[in-house]
């Protein structure tokens, strides 16, 4: 099933030709900073199933494991739509919110629970 994710303004588009390999909810502080929300949700796809189009900028930061992550975001509206974890070069992560699809597959794992805001109740 093909799905489409976009930034807020719509010019940076990502087409995903297959279902995600996994969906991960992350409570880490870096995801809180990136999203402005209290957690981030990433869908990991096989790299060759993901096709981005539109203008983008990139921001690279090291992860806790020491491997760089490169975030790809819209230079117009600032939304981060996808990112590339160097630790898993065969995969690309796409921000689940960028699909704007409440029927998107739910998270299959939760990480960095030690940084979860206590009022965020988990149902998975």
- β-strand partners of 24: 42, 109
From CA 2, how far away is CA 87, in angstroms rounded? 26
Among residues 14, 74, 82, 98, the one that binds Zn ion under rule CB under 5 A: 74
| 120 interacts with Zn ion by CB under 5 A | no
| 77 interacts with Zn ion by CB under 5 A | yes
Contact present, 29 and 74 (Cβ < 8 Å): no
Q: Which of 43, 51, 45 is nearest to 105 (CA)?
A: 43
| 31 interacts with Zn ion by CB under 5 A | yes
| 32 interacts with Zn ion by CB under 5 A | no
Among residues 9, 17, 18, 120, the one that binds Zn ion under rule CB under 5 A: 9
- Binding site residues, Zn ion, CB under 5 A: 7, 9, 26, 28, 31, 74, 76-77
């Amino acid at each position: 099933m093909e799905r489409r994710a976009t930034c807020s303004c719509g010019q940076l588009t990502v087409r995903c030709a297959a279902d995600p390999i996994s969906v991960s909810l992350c409570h880490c502080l870096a995801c809180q900073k990136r999203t402005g929300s209290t957690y981030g949700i990433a869908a990991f796809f096989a790299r060759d199933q993901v096709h981005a189009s539109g203008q983008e900028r990139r921001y690279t930061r090291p992860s806790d494991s020491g491997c760089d992550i490169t975030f790809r975001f819209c230079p117009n509206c600032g939304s981060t739509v996808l990112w590339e974890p160097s630790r898993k070069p065969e995969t690309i992560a796409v921000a689940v919110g960028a699909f704007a699809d409440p029927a998107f597959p739910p998270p299959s794992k939760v990480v960095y629970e030690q940084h979860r805001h206590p009022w965020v109740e988990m149902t998975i």
